[in-house]
Amino acid sequence: MSESSHTTTSIDCYCGRRAVIRTSWMNENPGRRFLSCLNYKDGGCGYFHWQESPLCDRARTIIPGLLRKINRLDDENKKLIENKQNLEEINKKLIERNKILAERNRNLVQEKKKMRLMLVIIPLGFSLLWMILSKMNFGSKSAGLEMIG
């Protein structure tokens, strides 16, 4: 007899403990409740009484199919929960990766700004240097001419 939870009653079983109500999930008696010893799973004292009359043929045919369907859906649900957890893990890793890439991007943008500034400063510096040198050169040429003349 397959069952999961149970309810304690005021009836004593053969070994003097409170008997419990359980639900059968076997194909012959799906959902049918029975009274048994608390230690039923381990054999117990053998106390056993059906609480309800047998199911009709229709219920005996339909209920096991529905139970199999429920079990299949439970299995699918477990897999979906597992997949969801895996996707959440992947998502966390991607968020971390995205943060790193965003930081790299910020650094590259800063580098780009520096490079642009250098592209302005260096030609300006060369221009200024050229102007200074050409003035000095011009000055020395004119000084040389003065000496010759």
* Number of residues written out for the chain: 149
| Residue 19 beta carbon to Zn ion: minimum distance, rounded to whole angstroms | 7
Contact between 35 and Zn ion by CB under 5 A: the answer reads: no
Choose between 45 and 55: whose C-beta lies nearer to Zn ion: 45
- Provide the minimum distance between the beta carbon of 35 and Zn ion in the complex, in angstroms, as a whole number: 11
Least spacing, CB of residue 78 vs Zn ion, in Å:
35
11, 4, 41: which is closest to 25 by C-alpha? 4
Q: Does 13 bind Zn ion (CB under 5 A)?
A: yes
In the list 1, 21, 45, 59, the residue contacting Zn ion (rule: CB under 5 A) is: 45
DSSP per-residue string spanning 59-117 = HHHHHHHHHHHHHHHHHHHHHHHHHHHHHHHHHHHHHHHHHHHHHHHHHHHHHHHHHHH
CB of 17 to Zn ion, least distance (A): 5
Q: Which residues bind Zn ion (CB under 5 A)?
A: 13, 15, 37, 44-45
